Amino acid sequence: MVDDPVFEIREYTPDDYGASRELWVELTQHHRDIYDAPAIGGDDPGSDFDEYLEMGNRAVSWVATIGGEVIGLTGLLTDGSEAEIEPVVVAVGHRGQGVGARLLQTAIDECRSRRLSSVSVRPVARNSEALQFFHSEGFRLLGQVELFMPLADTNRTWVGGATLAGREWTT
């Protein structure tokens, strides 16, 4: 990957609130699109960003900027020994230019400097672009897998073809 000198990564500040909340909404929209489920995130998906900011285990968040404009967001949740990178989102018009990789690397570097034992990401199973992105960036170990059984008719359509442990699963 060629490093793009145009964008920079820095720690999130309260001045980044509006743009970062919009990126969170973009992330929710991505999930709505891939699941064809407009209700994901509720009426005000940005409120989940407000909750994210208040999480007690949120150690640090970073933004990517171009010319002062916030175009990417990531952050680190940690209990002091392990960490999860959440969220990772790049604005639609700036994807595929190395921004996501640099955000991710910044969070991983922070984990290393804190001498944490492991770092994880938790993409939804149908987010194949994110799975490819994380795989490209070195996340190759599968950890705990969440299995679901819908108990009410959600009108969702599930997609087959995923295999694990010799069984087929829908996502």
Ligand X SMILES: CC(C)(COP(=O)(O)OP(=O)(O)OC[C@H]1O[C@@H](n2cnc3c(N)ncnc32)[C@H](O)[C@@H]1OP(=O)(O)O)[C@@H](O)C(=O)NCCC(=O)NCCS
- Cβ count near 5 (within 10 Å): 6
- Cβ neighbourhood burial of 89 (10 Å; 0-12, 13-18, 19+): buried
- Minimum CB separation of residue 33 from ligand X in Å reads 9
Instruction: Decide: is 13 part of the binding site for ligand X (CB under 6 A).
Output: no
The residues that bridge with 73 in the sheet, in sequence order, are 63, 89
Pairing of strands 167-169, 162-164: antiparallel
CB 90 within 8 Å of CB 72 = yes
Q: Please choose, out of 35-43, 110-118, 132-140, 153-161, the segment that lies near ligand X by the rule CB under 6 A.
A: 132-140
What is the size of the binding site for ligand X (CB under 6 A)? 21
Instruction: Decide: is 130 part of the binding site for ligand X (CB under 6 A).
Output: yes
Six-digit token pair at 94?
A: 């700036």
Instruction: Decide: is 89 part of the binding site for ligand X (CB under 6 A).
Output: yes
Instruction: Decide: is 46 part of the binding site for ligand X (CB under 6 A).
Output: no
- Cβ neighbourhood burial of 100 (10 Å; 0-12, 13-18, 19+): buried
- Minimum CB separation of residue 23 from ligand X in Å reads 8
State which residue, 31 or 114, has the beta carbon closest to ligand X: 31
State which residue, 47 or 137, has the beta carbon closest to ligand X: 137
Residue selected from 11, 33, 129, 156 as contacting ligand X according to rule CB under 6 A: 129
Backbone angles phi, psi at 68, to 5 degrees: 90, -10
Q: Please choose, out of 7-15, 128-136, 139-147, 152-160, the segment that lies near ligand X by the rule CB under 6 A.
A: 128-136
Binding region for ligand X (CB under 6 A):
1, 27, 30, 88-90, 95-101, 121, 123, 127, 129-130, 132-133, 136
